[in-house]
Amino acid sequence: MPDKRLSDSIVSAHQKACDEGKDDIASLLIEALSLELTRIGGSADRREETALIESAFTRHEETFGNVSIDNKRADL
């Protein structure tokens, strides 16, 4: 079944990057996920279940020790 939201695809790619130990890619993807979740406009992503999103941030922190979001990029 294809992912319905861009954020779902980002979470899947982040999981693969974590599995492969690619911390630089995983960091960029977690940043992209954060950006996607904060840039939602009028057609809000109204998830009833946020476990998948939360698990991505938790996994990143457990795998690489931190979740660092570059707020300067979010202003682009």
Neighbours of 28 (CB within 10 A): 17
Contact call for residues 60 and 18 (beta carbons, < 8 A): yes
Task: Name the amino acid, one letter, at 14.
Answer: H
Q: What is the pLDDT of residue 29?
A: 96
Q: What is the pLDDT of residue 76?
A: 43
Q: At what angle do helices 6-19 and 51-64 cross, to 10 degrees?
A: 30
Query: Model confidence over 16-61: pLDDT tens digits?
Result: 999 999 999 999 999 999 998 887 654 445 565 688 888 898 998 8
Domain ranges in the chain?
Answer: 6-74
Residues 6+ apart with CB under 8 A from 45: 5, 7, 37
Question: pTM score, two decimals?
Answer: 0.68
Evaluate if residue 65 carries a pLDDT over 90: no
Helix intervals (H) in the chain: 6-19, 23-38, 51-64, 71-74
